[in-house]
Structures are given as structure tokens and as C-alpha cells.
A = this chain, B = another copy of it.
């Protein structure tokens, strides 16, 4: 029960001690996820070649694989084997990638550049980009449903979690819609901004961690703790994203920085100022780690991932 009483400061210190280990974990997770994704997606030469080329262009654009890493980290924290987690980890990346492809479209965020390369619709045309996104979403659910290594009871729970996190009214699509609506008017407040980001980025990040824990058979109390942790991690990711848009170089970011400010977009730095936004990020990171105090298992990896998110440069 000592872990229950650990202060947030102790938790952070423990995370610092394993930051290098967490970096190594992320790097290895990225490699295995990339290899599995490569095997999941039809080759470029398979008809319809345009759609498959577009899928591969967007899927293998150098993404960090944060969501798959969270599935693995949370799952392994609660005792799942990696083989049980891989299909679900990949499914989260497939859905995340579809959302990037669609969000970049001219009628949405109208982005020409992502991770230093032309976006999918710039390279392949709008129709193919829309279809590539649609096919990525189907493939995500197919991948989980066909994962013979996972009990069907777990597969249906994971499909439901992913679908809820991706859709509406509380998932990613809802967040993107609220975000677009907020862009077209002034006076977006702090609460509204939180509500947008809980859905737009938070829901998928939280579900990734939850699904790892579900596959591991985590107890209800543990599942609740990891959900709270991941919800804070999602918010942290969004705040640092907004901060990087203000402070990072184009080279680090792989896209044009300062875009939010020029679009007069509601962001944490715009609403609260740069220093207050940084303080908010640190507080949210502490809250994420504090949530893990309810878990009676080693959680240093999850804590370290939160700290890496706080300190990320790209």
C-alpha cells in the first residue's frame, strides 16, 4: 500500500529515473508496430493502386506511434503479452492515420504539409485521400476482429472502445467537428477548449491505454486509474502541441509553425499566455502520474511516458 501514499513529486522523480528506458521502449515499440502495419496493409502494386499508395504514404510518414505504444505500455504494465496487444496497437494507429488524412483535407484544416511531406490529398488528390482514410478505418476494425490470438470477448470490447473513441458524440470525430465550429467564431473559453480536446485527441489516447489494460484483464479500479492517467496524458499532449506551434522550428515540427496564431485559433498559449500554458502542462503531467498512485503495480514506464510528453520537442 506504500504506492498509494506516494506523493506526486516522488512519482515524477521515479519517472525521471527511467526516462532513457522509456525512450528506448518507444523506439522499439515503433519498430515492431511499423513492421506489423507493413504486413497488414496491401502492397502498393495491389489494385486499386492509388488507394494503397496513398495509405502507405500517410501510414509510413514517420509517425511517433504514440497510441500503439500506449496500448503496449498499459497492456504490459498490467501483465498482457505483447502478442495479444499488437493487433489492437496497430488498429489505433490505423484510425489515427485516417483522421490525419481527413483532417488535412481542404474543407477541413486545409494543410499542405505534414511531417515535412505533402499531405495525402496534395500528393494523391482529394478523392483518393478520402477513400484511403475510409479504408484505413475499415482495416482497423478488421484487424482487431481477425486477431485469432485474442479471445473474442476481448476483441468485441476493444472494437467497441476504439469505435466510441473514434466516433461521436464523445470521440475524435465529435472533437474535430467542435474544433471546426470553434474556429469560425471568437470567444472560445478554457472549458470549451478542454471539451474539444478531450474528444479530438484525448478520447483516442485514453482508449489506447484502456484497451491495453482491458486485454491484460486489469481490475475495474485499475482500469479507472489508467483511464484517468491517459485522459490527462491526452490533454498534456494537446497543450504541448499548442506550445510547440508557438516555440518550435519548422525543421523540428515538419510543418509550418505559428499556423494556429495566424488562424487566430483558440489554443492554450493564446488563452492563458505562454508561461501559464507551460505551468498547466506541468500540472497536468503531475495529475497523470498521480492517477497511477491507485495502481498497485510498477507504473514507472507509464509515468516516464507522461514526462517525455511534457518535454517533447516535436
Measured in the bound complex, the distance between the Cα atoms of B55 and A135 in whole Å is 19
* B52-A131 in contact (CB<8A): no
Q: A159-B145, A160-B145 in contact; A177/B131 too (CB < 8 A)?
A: yes
Within 8 A of B (CB), among A169-211: 169, 171, 173-174, 176-178, 180-181
The answer, yes or no, to whether A153 is at the interface (CB within 8 Å) is: yes
B134 near A46 with CB under 8 A, answer no
CB-contacts of A34-89 with B (<8 A)? 42, 46-48, 50-52, 55
Contact status B181-A167, CB under 8 Å: no
Q: How far is the CA of A164 from the CA of B108 in the complex (A)?
A: 28
Cβ of A228 within 8 Å of any chain B Cβ, yes or no, is no
Q: Answer whether A130 and B107 are a contact pair too, CB < 8 Å, given A42-B168, A46-B169, A169-B42.
A: yes
Q: Closest chain B residue to A199 by CB distance? A: B48
Residues of B close to A137: CB separation below 8 A? 134, 137-138
A120-128, A216-224, A292-300, A306-314: which one contacts chain B?
Answer: A120-128
Q: Tell me, in angstroms, the Cα distance from A133 to B157 when the chains sit together.
A: 23
Q: Which residues of B contact A180 (CB under 8 A)?
A: 127-128
Nearest opposing residue in chain B for A133, CB measure: B134
A154 CB to nearest B CB, Å: 9
Question: Is A31 interfacial (CB 8 A cutoff)?
Answer: no
With both beta carbons as reference points, the residue of chain B lying nearest to A55 in the complex is identified as B168
Option from B126, B135, B167 in Cβ contact (under 8 Å) with A135? B167
Q: Is the CB of A130 within 8 A of B105?
A: yes
| Chain B residues near A144 (CB-CB < 8 A) | 159
List the B residue with the shortest CB-CB distance to A126.
B107
For A96, the chain B residues whose CB sits under 8 A away are: none
Given contacts A130-B102, A135-B168, contact A163 B142 (CB under 8 A): yes
B residues less than 8 Å from A156 (CB atoms): 145-146, 152, 155-156, 159
A139 at the interface (CB under 8 A from B): yes
A130 to chain B: which residues have CB within 8 Å?
Answer: 102, 105, 107-108, 130
Q: 3 closest Cβ contacts across the A-B interface? A: A138-B167, A142-B163, A107-B126
CB–CB A51/B141 < 8 A = no
12 A–B contacts, CB within 8 A, in A order: A42-B168, A48-B174, A48-B178, A51-B174, A127-B180, A131-B168, A134-B137, A141-B163, A142-B167, A144-B159, A146-B160, A152-B153
Among candidates B127, B171, B174, residue contacting A107 with C-beta atoms closer than 8 Å: B127
